[in-house]
């Protein structure tokens, strides 16, 4: 009973001492205890511990034993001894031919041969009880409990140590994400370019040339009067009288009205001015291009020069208050029927 109490007290003291050690010292102590347990179990089974077993092996190899000389009589069969009361057997021809001096020669050779030196076989040391590296001994059960306490304490220390969660961390970019990113980037750039192009193709709230240009009623020319140049809209506003705007067989006569002529020459794009003092074909007042001399009637019909066609016209919208709106973005290619395109006014 007293031994059990002493063992429990020693176990508690050893466990508390182990808990105060560092992790490296615990590992070293565990290895020593494991070696001690192996030695104790080997001693209980009557076996030699591995360390002493290695020490018992001689460092040098045993000397080879000399072979014993083989006697000549070993190879020669001895004659059979006659039984008592039986006559002796006659000698064989081989025994008769053998010389009688052979036993003497064999015994002489055996006497002359030196004696073999005695062989020495080291005796195997007796198994000794294992010696513990500590100044105290412990039972196998107590050592196992102490090892279990060390392992449990190490596991608890590892459980208390926070471990970083690296499962959600992704390193680098995968090939699939790279392809998806490139596709959606190219798609977005294409859509942005298309929307921008549509905005340019369909302009909104255009001011000036390309949009509607209004002309007040008081600025509208009188029938047969000189044309009005609207610089902001790049056109000439002409008020034709009935039959005006043709030259001989060139052009188609009309009942008169308002006509908006684009001031751009169809030849090379020069601005065509109105020449009130220019005389051509006996008549005064023509549209005359200063670049290459193309000449047009008051209705925009070409009568001379390198221009390929008459001047282009624009759409006119008459308002109730007498003013007009010219759609400079709605342009019709010029022709000999320009005078017939005139809008009646008023």
In this predicted model, what pLDDT tens digit does every residue of 290-308 receive, in sequence order? 999 999 999 999 999 999 9
In this predicted model, what pLDDT tens digit does every residue of 137-194 receive, in sequence order? 555 566 677 778 888 877 877 777 665 555 555 567 788 888 999 999 999 999 988 8
pLDDT recorded at residue 213: 92
pLDDT recorded at residue 197: 77
Q: What integer is the mean pLDDT of 309-326? A: 93
Q: What integer is the mean pLDDT of 70-92? A: 49
Global model pTM greater than 0.75: no
* Rounded percentage of the chain residues whose pLDDT exceeds 70: 60
What strands lie across the sheet with 324-332, from one edge to the other? 212-215, 324-332, 313-318, 257-262, 235-240, 228-230
Higher pLDDT, 41 or 47: 41
pLDDT recorded at residue 254: 84
What span, in angstroms and rounded, lies between the C-alpha atoms of 126 and 43?
12
pLDDT recorded at residue 149: 80
pLDDT recorded at residue 247: 85
- State the chain's mean pLDDT as an integer: 75
Cα separations in angstroms, 188 against 17, 178, 198, 222:
70, 16, 15, 57
Residue 250 has pLDDT above 90, yes or no: no
What span, in angstroms and rounded, lies between the C-alpha atoms of 73 and 122?
34
Cα separations in angstroms, 325 against 102, 142, 218, 231:
161, 114, 13, 14
pLDDT recorded at residue 41: 82
Token duo for residue 220 = 């509208």
Q: Do residues 299 and 339 touch, judged by C-beta distance below 8 A?
A: yes
What are the structural domain ranges in the chain? 7-52+138-144, 212-341
pLDDT recorded at residue 107: 47
What confidence category does residue 15 fall into, taking pLDDT thresholds of 50, 70 and 90? low
Cα separations in angstroms, 318 against 62, 208, 257, 293:
136, 19, 11, 34
109: left (phi over 0), alpha (psi -120 to 50) or beta: alpha
pLDDT recorded at residue 239: 92
What confidence category does residue 103 fall into, taking pLDDT thresholds of 50, 70 and 90? very low
Residue 329 has pLDDT above 60, yes or no: yes
What span, in angstroms and rounded, lies between the C-alpha atoms of 166 and 174?
17
Q: What integer is the mean pLDDT of 88-93? A: 53
Higher pLDDT, 18 or 332: 332
Residue 68 has pLDDT above 70, yes or no: no
pLDDT recorded at residue 290: 93
What span, in angstroms and rounded, lies between the C-alpha atoms of 221 and 209?
21
In the CATH scheme, what is the homologous superfamily, with its name and number, of domain 212-341? Rieske [2Fe-2S] iron-sulphur domain (2.102.10.10)
As a three-state string, the secondary structure of the chain is CHHHHHHHHHHHHHHHHHHCCCHHHHHHHHHHHHHHHHHHHHHHCCCCCHHHHHHHCCCCCCCCCCCCCCCHHHHCCCCCCCCCCCCCCCCCHHHHHCCCCHHHHHHHHHHHCCCCCCCCCCCCCCCCCCCCCCCCCCCHHHHHHHHHHHHHHHHHHHHHCCCCCCCCCCCCCCHHHHHHHHHHHHHHHHHHHHHHHHHHHCCCCCCCCCCEEEECHHHCCCCCCCCEEECCCCEEEEEECCCCCCECCECCCCCCEEEEEECECCCCCCECCEEEEEEECCEEEEEECCCCCCEECCCCCEEECCCCCCCCEEEEEECCCCCEEEEEEEEECCCCCHHHHCECCC
- Of 103-117, 122-136, 230-244, the range with the highest mean pLDDT is 230-244
Axis crossing angle, helix 2-19 with helix 140-160, rounded to the nearest 10: 30
């Amino acid at each position: 009973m007293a031994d059990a109490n002493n063992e429990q007290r020693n176990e508690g003291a050893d466990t508390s001492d182990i808990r105060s050690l560092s992790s490296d010292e615990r590992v070293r102590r565990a290895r020593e205890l494991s070696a001690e347990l192996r030695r104790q179990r080997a001693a209980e089974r009557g076996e030699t511990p591995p360390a002493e077993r290695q020490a018992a092996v001689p460092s040098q190899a045993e000397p080879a034993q000399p072979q014993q000389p083989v006697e000549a009589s070993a190879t020669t069969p001895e004659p059979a001894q006659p039984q008592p009361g039986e006559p002796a057997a006659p000698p064989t021809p081989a025994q008769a031919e053998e010389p009688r001096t052979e036993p003497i020669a064999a015994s002489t050779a055996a006497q002359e041969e030196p004696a073999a030196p005695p062989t020495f076989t080291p005796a195997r040391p007796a198994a000794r009880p294992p010696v513990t590296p500590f100044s105290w001994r412990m039972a196998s059960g107590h050592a196992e409990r102490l090892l279990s306490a060390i392992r449990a304490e190490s596991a608890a220390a590892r459980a208390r140590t926070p471990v970083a969660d690296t499962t959600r961390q992704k390193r680098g970019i995968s090939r699939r994400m790279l392809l998806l990113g490139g596709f959606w980037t190219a798609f977005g750039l294409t859509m942005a370019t298309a929307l921008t192009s549509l905005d340019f193709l369909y302009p909104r709230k255009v001011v000036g040339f390309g949009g509607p240009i209004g002309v007040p009623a008081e600025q509208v020319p009188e029938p047969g009067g000189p044309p009005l140049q609207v610089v902001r809209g790049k056109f000439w506003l002409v008020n034709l009288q009935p039959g005006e705007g043709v030259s001989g067989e060139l052009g188609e006569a009309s009942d008169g009205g308002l006509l908006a002529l684009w001031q751009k020459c169809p030849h090379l794009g020069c601005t065509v001015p109105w020449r009130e003092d220019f005389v051509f074909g006996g008549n005064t007042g023509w549209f005359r291009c200063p670049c290459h001399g193309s000449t047009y009637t008051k209705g925009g019909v070409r009568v001379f020069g390198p221009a390929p066609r008459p001047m282009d016209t624009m759409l006119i919208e008459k308002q109730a208050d007498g003013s007009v709106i010219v759609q400079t973005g709605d342009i019709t290619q010029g022709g000999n029927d320009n005078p017939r395109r005139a809008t009646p006014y008023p």
